[in-house]
Structure 1
Amino acid sequence: MDILNVAKKLNDEKHHSVRNDDVFIDRLNHKYTVTMILVFAVIVTTEQYIMSPIKCWVPVQFKEEYEKYANNICWIMNTYYIPMEHDIPPAETIRYEQTLKYYQWSPFILLFMALCFYFPHIEKLVDAALKQEQQVNQRAEREKTINHITNSIRVYIENRYTSPTQLDYRGKNCFQQFCYSLTFWRHHHLSSFIVLLFTFIKFLYLFNSLVQIFLLNAFLGNDYLLFGFKVIVKFIRGLDWGESKRFLRVTLCDFHIREVGIVHRYTVQCVLPMNLFNEKSDFISWLLRIIRVDSRSAYVRRKLSMKRAAINELIDEFTSPKQIKLNEKLLSESFVRNYLQEDGCFVLRLLARNGADIIVGEIIDKLYKHFRAIYNHDHIYFD
């Protein structure tokens, strides 16, 4: 978010560190995993279109051109698998029951996966539209920016009490009217809109991982959901991974060659060296998906059960022992519970987590002074 970016600049002007306005598991999803998958895609693409993705064992009478043709036709027309201890069935319907159809699409599958993992990271798109170019170096500019952040939080909080009749719908299209209506619904009926929006992004991460697992299970088959568990069990027991039915390395291929009006059918044995790499990379991707699913589920469960725990924590920090007057303590509790509420606490927590503790202290001080001024004037609580 743009406010976090400004606060980061204020807090650490001399150190040009990388923004971390999310947690490690988020960066694992939209940064590290995307980078890793793109590297895999480059390697697989190089293997397919620059090197030799398939090598077929052809009859000895085949010339070099015939061998190249056999490799190309087997790569294009797919291969199938028959165990070495079984005879090749004469019926094509039985023979092609275990046809491998995915390996030509491996680079595109990897690119699609990378796009899916990056997509929920929508705050980058927001930053592109809201990015501030000015540098915050001078003290006056620093104070001005802190006031801007404080006012932004204050306006957001106090807009919950704005009347929807103040909105002018004239000249607005249907989409704009819907957005405005949603905004006022948020202001009047929801004090944790930002928290829920943040949690919704976590749901997108979780949904993305689950959908990819089920799509790959439908595409690759052979119980893809259990693929990683089987590999882990073999690794713990010290067993060799062996040849997976999903990533077969030795397959068969049928093709026809017309010679002098006679059509000859050949069945050759082919090796797919790239499937060795596909198997290892797919296991790493599977493991990362499981980690993300588990962490996202834990986060959602924690967020749904947390309720107002964050508010209570902020109250404990804000009501220090120095505030010995009961009315002052009650006022500060009202400030946190009824004025800041979930959204205000959440934004301040995000700022503090990004290393802007001093900035957060100043913002809280300004917000509290503003709250006290309203309270002393009207003698009301923000219920």
Structure 2
Amino acid sequence: MLDIFRGLKTLIKVSNLHIDCPVFRLHYSITVLILIAFSLIVTTRQYVGNPIDCIHTKDIPEDVLNTFCWIHTTYLVRGAFKKKIGVEVPYPGVETAKDEKDKILYKYYQWVCFCLFFQAILFYTPRWLWKSWEGGKIHALMMDLDIGICSETEKRIKKKLMIDYLWENFRYHNWWAYKYYFCEVLACINVIGQMFLMNRFFDGAFLTFGIRVIEFMESDQEDRIDPLILVFPKMTKCTFYKFGVSGNVEMHDAICILPLNVVNEKIYVFLWFWFIILSLLTFITIVYRFIIILSPRMRVYLLRMRYRLIKKDDIDLLVRKSKMGDWFLFYMLGENVDSLIFRDVIHELAHKLRNHQFQDCSRGFKDIHQEP
């Protein structure tokens, strides 16, 4: 089991290559690690330990009753939650049901480990898409230039190759950048959609789960009802039918303890707050992307703030003559390449642009004078 958890460290392994933003990395690294770890914890408790323990009679074997109640779900009674504990009921909701409509059935706990693992796959999907679409472009352009210590000849050759690529493919990276922005939007849709998915999973109790927990902590101790009991009860009821000695059907009403719900409630309280924080951060990132797309001035400002070694005139020229996709590629290269080397690359590229503009102006001037 410990070997499995050690394998999860690869998900948060710090990579020298950055092809996305920090908020996007939270989705496919930290969140996926958390969900898989929770899935393994629940799986271990569910299939190795004892997830349910029912009070049984001598007529029913313990393993049979526990297995039956685990498979066929347990229940609580709605009207018994407000009754006095220790006087009217032994535990909130635990009472003999007089009407089937008054029962609250609990059948989700069998699927918690699978649901958590499925959620981890959904969180990794935008990363998988972007990695496929990115195609190793940043890694290919880096050519190990993230380390400034190399021979001048090697550095000069690699810089020339990078500059040649950027010059030949100038203004042709918009579609590449928009694919990444789409993956960020997909990550935002995923985290919000998963909150509604879990809300459906818990019969409409998840969306307000964290708020009700906070309200419970701030309310008076005497008249408060723990909202965790409604979603993750530790004691429930189970009805077991079997033939008696005379051949008639006998009903056995058992009380079951669910120690696994002690783990489940902690997991989902944490996930509620984590998903809220992640949703807000991702939404802010998407707004930031729209501003970048619509505002060239913002692109100039961001490059100036992030890469102070580069001349302001070079940045202004590149942003003015390039498209948004080129800006995104420049920004990602600056995140990965040595700062001094990146400064030289941008300077050479800006110099090429100026020469190209001067040549165009010269040709235009000659054409005017050559006209009859």
What is the TM-score normalised by the length of structure 2?
Answer: 0.75
Matching residue of 1:335 = 317
1:17/1:316 Cα in 2 relative to 1: closer, same or farther (>3 Å)? closer
The answer to whether 1:217 aligns with 2:204 is no
Contact 2:303 / 2:331 at 8 angstroms: preserved in 1? Answer: no
Q: Give 1:20 deviation, angstroms.
A: 3.7
Matching residue of 2:118 = 112
Matching residue of 2:127 = 121
The DSSP-based 3-state class of the residue aligned with 2:250 is strand
Partner Cα distance (1:283, 1:245) in 2: 13
The answer to whether 1:379 aligns with 2:347 is no
The answer to whether 1:266 aligns with 2:242 is no
Q: Give 1:134 deviation, angstroms.
A: 8.2
Partner Cα distance (2:212, 2:197) in 1: 19
- Partner residue of 2:71 out of 76, 98, 119: 76
Matching residue of 1:146 = 159
- Partner residue of 1:290 out of 276, 281, 284: 276
Contact 2:216 / 2:227 at 8 angstroms: preserved in 1? Answer: no
The DSSP-based 3-state class of the residue aligned with 1:225 is coil
1:128/1:335 Cα in 2 relative to 1: closer, same or farther (>3 Å)? closer
Q: What amino acid is aligned across from residue 101 of structure 2 in structure 1?
A: I
Contact 1:34 / 1:114 at 8 angstroms: preserved in 2? Answer: yes
What is the TM-score normalised by the length of structure 1?
Answer: 0.73
Matching residue of 1:94 = 101
Gaps of 5+ in 1: 1-15, 160-186, 324-328
Partner Cα distance (1:232, 1:309) in 2: 43
Q: Give 1:62 deviation, angstroms.
A: 4.0
Gaps of 5+ in 2: 1-13, 84-88, 90-94, 363-372
The DSSP-based 3-state class of the residue aligned with 1:98 is strand
Query: Which deviates the most, 209-218 or 22-31?
Result: 22-31
1:257/1:135 Cα in 2 relative to 1: closer, same or farther (>3 Å)? same
Contact 2:143 / 2:158 at 8 angstroms: preserved in 1? Answer: no
> Matches of residues 163-178 of structure 1 in structure 2 within 5 Å?
none
Deviations 1:313-343 (A, max 9, x none): 26867999999xxxxx6xx577324422322
1:351/1:238 Cα in 2 relative to 1: closer, same or farther (>3 Å)? farther
Two-structure CA RMSD over aligned residues (Å): 3.4
Q: What amino acid is aligned across from residue 69 of structure 1 in structure 2?
A: V
Deviations 1:166-211 (A, max 9, x none): xxxxxxxxxxxxxxxxxxxxx8xxxx44443332222111100111
Q: Once superposed, which parts of structure 1, at least 4 consecutive aligned residues long, lie more than 4 Å away? A: 126-139, 235-242, 314-323
Residue correspondences, number: 323
Q: What amino acid is aligned across from residue 169 of structure 2 in structure 1?
A: Y
1:119/1:269 Cα in 2 relative to 1: closer, same or farther (>3 Å)? same
Partner Cα distance (2:175, 2:342) in 1: 20
Matching residue of 1:280 = 266
Partner Cα distance (1:281, 1:223) in 2: 15
Partner Cα distance (1:142, 1:238) in 2: 69
Matching residue of 1:313 = 301
Matching residue of 1:28 = 26
Contact 1:79 / 1:100 at 8 angstroms: preserved in 2? Answer: yes
Partner Cα distance (2:233, 2:170) in 1: 59
Q: What amino acid is aligned across from residue 225 of structure 1 in structure 2?
A: L
Q: Give 1:215 deviation, angstroms.
A: 1.3
Q: What amino acid is aligned across from residue 118 of structure 2 in structure 1?
A: F
Partner Cα distance (1:376, 1:140) in 2: 30
Matching residue of 2:4 = none
> Matches of residues 158-197 of structure 1 in structure 2 within 5 Å?
158-159=171-172, 192-197=174-179
> Percent same amino acid among aligned pairs?
24
Query: Which deviates the most, 201-210 or 142-151?
Result: 142-151
Matching residue of 1:299 = 285
Matching residue of 1:56 = 54
> Matches of residues 240-251 of structure 1 in structure 2 within 5 Å?
243-251=228-236
